[in-house]
Amino acid sequence: MTIEAEGTITYQSFGLGVWALTANDTTYELFEPPAELQQEGLAIKVTGNIRDDIMTVAMIGPVLEVQNFEILSS
What the chain holds in terms of domains, given with CATH numbers, is 2-73 (2.40.50)
Torsions phi, psi for 17 (to 5 deg): 100, 145
DSSP 35: G
What is the C-alpha separation between 42 and 52, in angstroms, rounded? 25
Q: What pTM was computed for the model?
A: 0.90
| pLDDT score for 61 | 93
* Distance (Å, whole) CA 7 – CA 25: 10
pLDDT of residue 52: 94
Mode of pairing for the β-strands spanning 43-50 and 2-12: antiparallel
Mean pLDDT of each 10-residue bin along the chain, 74 residues long: 95 89 94 96 97 90 96 88
Q: Would you give the distance in Å from CA 9 to the centre of its chain?
A: 7
